[in-house]
């Protein structure tokens, strides 16, 4: 098996960022990819103007690529992963205002996966209160995702880079997945298995795959150390993806790595062009 047997998509919020947003889908297509994913592209606008939504939709459709994953509004990304849904006040309000907008945008492009990033712990705020708020908002997000035929993804980040994030292990993310499914009865909350983040947390990746592949609806990769392309670090990504495949995972593998000191179009030499189309 190996890389040749995977379905890859390109994260346009970390790759091709040297280009304006509306040029990135076509750049991914020119590099041979047929599927893309995005963090919420408007970091200061959970409710962007309809013209901006329409322009991005047009750029994706005209490029001939499929949008396979989209984040709900998550605050100041790119940058330290912060999230919004568990932060009381303005950030949580922005998340709620974004839910249906993001879900409808995803539906308009046939996107079946919506990612909701937990928020950082806030000084002076009871963690239990943040968790209760998070569950309320995740329930709303899960229902919106279900309305458009999508899954809700829950992701574990990593403690070294996101020290205030409370979800920094696979078991904790799975705990949240189970809580959301119990609260909604929908069963559409799933695990986003980011092998880079989990490796940064020092987790046993083969054990994680064996335990949670059946609850995983999306996978993301970057090598470690450095969060670069496969082969720039020491993670056995090809072997790990083989294990996922053998465990029954048939979904996309998101390329969520930094291109380094080169144009993004040159950061895919580890993957022959004939294996880039999903």
Indicate which CATH number applies to the domain containing 236.
3.20.20.150
- Number of structural domains found in the chain: 1
Strand intervals (E) in the chain: 7-11, 35-38, 66-71, 113-115, 151-155, 189-194, 216-221, 252-255
Q: What averages of pLDDT result for each successive group of 10 residues across the chain (278 residues)?
A: 89 98 98 98 96 98 98 81 89 97 98 97 96 98 98 97 95 98 98 98 98 98 98 98 97 98 97 96
Which stretches of the chain are DSSP H helices?
Answer: 24-30, 50-63, 90-108, 127-147, 170-184, 195-200, 205-212, 237-246
Domain presence at residue 36: yes
Which tokens in the block code for residue 96? 């709620």
Domain presence at residue 211: yes
| Cβ 47 vs Cβ 40: under 8 Å | no
Which tokens in the block code for residue 48? 């962007």
Give the residues across from 192 on adjacent strands: 155, 218
The pLDDT value recorded for residue 108 is 98
Strand 216-221 relative to strand 7-11, pairing: unpaired
**Cα–Cα distance for residue pair 3/111, rounded to 1 Å:** 23
Domain presence at residue 275: no
Strand 216-221 relative to strand 113-115, pairing: unpaired
Domain presence at residue 167: yes
> Looking up tokens 């330290």, which residue turns up?
80
The H or E element spanning position 184 is helix 170-184
The pLDDT value recorded for residue 77 is 72
List residues with catalytic annotation: 155, 256
The pLDDT value recorded for residue 4 is 86
Closest residue by Cα to residue 72 from 134, 133, 114:
114
Determine the structural domain holding residue 17 and report its residue range.
3-269
Domain presence at residue 180: yes
Domain presence at residue 214: yes
Domain presence at residue 186: yes
Which tokens in the block code for residue 110? 């046939």
Domain presence at residue 277: no
């Amino acid at each position: 098996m190996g890389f040749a047997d995977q379905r890859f998509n390109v994260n346009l919020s970390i790759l091709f960022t040297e280009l304006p947003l509306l040029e990135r889908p076509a750049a991914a297509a020119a590099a041979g990819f047929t599927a893309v994913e995005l963090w919420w592209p408007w970091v200061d606008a959970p409710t962007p103007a309809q013209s901006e939504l329409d322009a991005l939709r047009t750029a994706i459709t005209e490029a001939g690529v499929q949008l396979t994953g989209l984040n709900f509004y998550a605050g100041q990304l790119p940058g330290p992963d912060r999230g919004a849904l568990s932060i009381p006040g303005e950030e949580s309000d922005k998340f709620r205002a974004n839910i249906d907008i993001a879900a409808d945008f995803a539906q308009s492009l046939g996107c079946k996966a919506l990612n909701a990033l937990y928020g950082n712990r806030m000084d002076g705020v009871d963690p239990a209160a943040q968790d209760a708020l998070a569950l309320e908002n995740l329930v709303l997000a899960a229902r919106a995702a279900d309305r458009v035929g999508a899954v809700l993804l829950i992701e574990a980040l990593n403690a070294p880079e996101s020290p205030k994030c409370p979800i920094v292990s696979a078991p904790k993310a799975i705990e949240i997945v189970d809580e959301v499914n119990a609260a909604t009865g929908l069963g559409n909350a799933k695990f986003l298995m980011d092998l880079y983040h989990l490796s940064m947390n020092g987790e046993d990746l083969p054990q994680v795959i064996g335990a949670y592949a059946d609850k995983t609806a999306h996978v993301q990769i970057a090598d470690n150390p450095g969060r670069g392309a496969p082969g720039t670090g020491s993670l056995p990504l090809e072997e790990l993806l083989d294990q996922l495949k053998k465990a029954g995972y048939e979904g996309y593998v998101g390329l969520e790595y930094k291109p380094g000191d080169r144009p993004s179009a040159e950061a895919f030499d580890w993957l022959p062009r004939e294996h880039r189309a999903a």
